[in-house]
Structure 1
Amino acid sequence: MTIRAAAVAATLALLAAAAAGCSSSPREPKKEQPIDPRAAGLAEGFGTMDRLVEAARREGALNLVGVPRDWVNFGAVMDRFTGHYGIRINVAEPKASSRREIEIAKAAPPQDAPDVFDLGMDVAVANAERFAPYRVTAWQDVPDALKDSGGRWYGAYGGYMSIGYDPRKVKAPRAFADLLAPGYAVALAGDPLRTAAAFNGVMAASLQNGTPEAKRGVELFAKLKKSGGFSKPSKANTLVDWDYVNAAKAAQTAGDDTPAWKVVIPKGAVLASYYVQAINKKAPHPAAARLWEEFLFSDEAQNLLLKGFARPARMEALEMKGVLDRQAAARLPAVTGRPVMLTIPQADAAKTYLKANWTTAVG
């Protein structure tokens, strides 16, 4: 062997030994961050969606309250959630009002307490100290007016106050004042002193140039009462209720030669309202609660709500991304005019006025 060949062989042997030494030294495994199921966001609490799903599956259940399966397609949303993640959903008092949801949470044993609330915005604001901050991944898509800056509550879906009517019995109303004409038997969706939909119906009727005034709404229904045009829902041919309720009813006979129900949102009286989500600070299944919120604000679930005639909070973002269910969106009642949302002070003042005057004026 030549001197050069021997040198090359020696060098190769040294490199091989070095490589063998490196391969025999185990690398330090990368440490994953500890899971915090009560964190205020996905990244800081779980790191990835997969780890959130794992944590939620270990909890195995999710407690909801006040969410009927036939409400804005929530049954499909629940089934899809369980199908994706294998997590059982328990629903307490599906038809509970927002205020009742809070009462249930106060009285429930720890393991039966709601994990998540579905609330009117006024109730959410009044009970914000009960909620755990959590910003969903799609947080930036939710309009600022629909979310608490601290992440304690955030709008998921909503709609506009509308007039549903039987076109076989009355003409299409163009304004709330048209309901005073003979032939209309008009109902609210409950007692406006107790039911949010009925209260907002009165307030929609009160709008003038975008400004609400409870007195105007009470006066209109007082005139209906006096003329005999104010009716119970079971006997009414006209119902003032959210568009997703009236639109769902209209869809049942939409293909008939003579539809039994149609819906209109009066021009100049477009009152909007949204239901907001909030996670219970004392949620017995905190990871499942956060997974539910992530799913509810996903493209898939927002479009499922849209199929239930609700207007998803991320609707504009879905359209910009090109993932909006356009067929479902086309089924929504047309809106002409700028939507109005009551501020908390406006709603409080209106409720005070109705408490003092509704029973005397309307009964």
Structure 2
Amino acid sequence: MKTPRPLALAAAALALLLAAGCAPPQQSTGDSDAATATSAEDFGGMEELVRAAQAEGELNVIALPPTWANYGAIIAAFSEKYGIKVNSAQPDASSQEEINAAKQQRGKSTAPDVFDLGQSVALANESMFAPYRVATFADIPAGFKHPDGLWVNDYGGYMSVGYDATAVPDVTSIDDLLKPEFKGKVALNGDPTQAGAAFSGVLMVAVSQGGSADDIAPGVEFFRKLNDVGNFLPVDPTPATIASGQTPVVIDWNYLNGIESERLPSWRVFVPNDAAVAGFYYQAINADAPHPAAARLWQEFLFSDEGQNLFAQGGVRPVRADAMIQATTFDSAAFHRLPAIDGMVTVPTQEQTEVATEYLAENWAEAIG
């Protein structure tokens, strides 16, 4: 499954939490061409941006599974609304694989136009992004965006444990995962040294064991124990492995585990109140995007009321939620299905993420080897 990165949620907002050949020619936008446009105004307004994007005719996205944050519906809505073909590559890729693909395909028409990344990968690759401020930029709190629009948080959620109640006992704490009944059944969504979801999963476990965003070591030690007793399952979970019963317990974002509940009636989702870990993903434009106008129109769509409500319908917290609630432009039914957490919420800072990522690079493989 797509395994991005830890997200950056602001505490105040949490309190309210209730994608071979030559690149095509750039489209002229008057004073500034599409590849350097920093807002729709550089095109002469939204109508001209739409016209430029439609002239390009295509958009390349990467690492966007249809069931991830409702991206299937989002892609379909964007394509239908603007008549632009969306090419979706490597839907199950990790954040780092998105960046690798952009580097390997630089200058080709197949390179990704936009990114949807985890915190650590996004912040380590800002030089690859093009600054752009969407029309709703002012609605997004300062802590959720780069001041120049190099990246903007788009949606977020909580880390959770999903499980098949017919295969294992109810999970009421992280420690339950060490019980004999969970032998060979506990899967983590990805490699925490490369994937955001997995990183946040280890952090959640660390917090449950007395650790913190400053000390992820207890999380690594827990997985060492989990592996030693035979409970850790080194298989990347997917909807198929869950449906087949191959991965009956999955540590992943609540919105992904929540989707499985709709497919498998016996699938339950546990978000530990005493170890709540939250995060947002990072949306950015590839500075070398082969379809620069379409890339910018995609951003405008994602951060519009329509795009944000589509995210909410996928069980994730849209970054403009507070502003939309205030303006009453939110999808009430979708917003009311978002989880509420009672207690402290851990959100790693950039510095904490960097330190934890270094620790994982040095200790993870040995712990689960």
Place the TM-score, normalised by the shorter chain, in its bin.
0.7 to 0.9
Q: Does 1:241 align with 2:252?
A: yes
Equivalenced residues, count: 326
User: Residues 85 and 187 of structure 1: is their aligned pair in 2 closer, same or farther, counting only changes over 3 Å?
Assistant: same
Structure 1 residue matching 2:187: 3-state secondary structure = strand
Deviates more, 1:120-129 or 1:89-98: 89-98
Cα deviation per residue 1:197-244 (whole Å; 9 max; x = unaligned)? 222211111116783221110122222223333234554432111111
Distance 1:113 1:205 in 2: 36
Within 5 Å, which residues of 2 pair with 1:306-325? 306-325=312-331
Contact 1:147 / 1:154 at 8 angstroms: preserved in 2? yes
Q: 1:155 offset after TM fit, Å?
A: 0.8
Cα deviation per residue 1:309-349 (whole Å; 9 max; x = unaligned)? 22211122222222222222333344222332212221222
Distance 1:181 1:221 in 2: 13
Q: 1:59 offset after TM fit, Å?
A: 1.8
Counterpart of 2:151, as a letter, is W
User: Residues 106 and 237 of structure 1: is their aligned pair in 2 closer, same or farther, counting only changes over 3 Å?
Assistant: closer
User: Residues 299 and 222 of structure 1: is their aligned pair in 2 closer, same or farther, counting only changes over 3 Å?
Assistant: same
User: Residues 299 and 210 of structure 1: is their aligned pair in 2 closer, same or farther, counting only changes over 3 Å?
Assistant: farther
Contact 2:273 / 2:341 at 8 angstroms: preserved in 1? yes
Q: Does 1:191 align with 2:209?
A: no
1:220 is aligned, of 199, 206, 222, to 222
Question: Which ranges of structure 1 fall in alignment gaps of 5 or more residues?
Answer: 1-31, 254-258
Q: Between Structure 1 and Structure 2, whose CA radius of gyration is higher?
A: 1
Q: Identify the residue that residue 277 of structure 1 maps to in structure 2.
A: 283
Structure 1 residue matching 2:181: 3-state secondary structure = coil
Deviates more, 1:232-241 or 1:122-131: 232-241
Q: 1:62 offset after TM fit, Å?
A: 1.4
Q: Identify the residue that residue 63 of structure 1 maps to in structure 2.
A: 60
Structure 2 residue matching 1:273: 3-state secondary structure = strand
Contact 1:201 / 1:241 at 8 angstroms: preserved in 2? yes
- Using the aligned pairs only, state the percent identity: 44
User: Residues 124 and 81 of structure 1: is their aligned pair in 2 closer, same or farther, counting only changes over 3 Å?
Assistant: same
Within 5 Å, which residues of 2 pair with 1:47-196? 47-108=44-105, 109-184=107-182, 185-196=185-196
Counterpart of 1:211, as a letter, is S
Q: 1:33 offset after TM fit, Å?
A: 6.8
Distance 2:149 2:65 in 1: 25
Structure 2 residue matching 1:244: 3-state secondary structure = helix
Q: 1:248 offset after TM fit, Å?
A: 0.5
Cα deviation per residue 1:38-84 (whole Å; 9 max; x = unaligned)? 321122x1232112111211222212222222322111111111111
Q: 1:294 offset after TM fit, Å?
A: 0.4
User: Residues 48 and 269 of structure 1: is their aligned pair in 2 closer, same or farther, counting only changes over 3 Å?
Assistant: same
User: Residues 334 and 178 of structure 1: is their aligned pair in 2 closer, same or farther, counting only changes over 3 Å?
Assistant: farther
Q: Does 1:286 align with 2:292?
A: yes
Distance 1:123 1:182 in 2: 36
User: Residues 333 and 262 of structure 1: is their aligned pair in 2 closer, same or farther, counting only changes over 3 Å?
Assistant: farther
Distance 1:35 1:222 in 2: 54
Question: Which ranges of structure 2 fall in alignment gaps of 5 or more residues?
Answer: 1-28, 236-240
Cα deviation per residue 1:75-125 (whole Å; 9 max; x = unaligned)? 111111111111111223222222121222122233332221111122121
Contact 2:158 / 2:271 at 8 angstroms: preserved in 1? yes
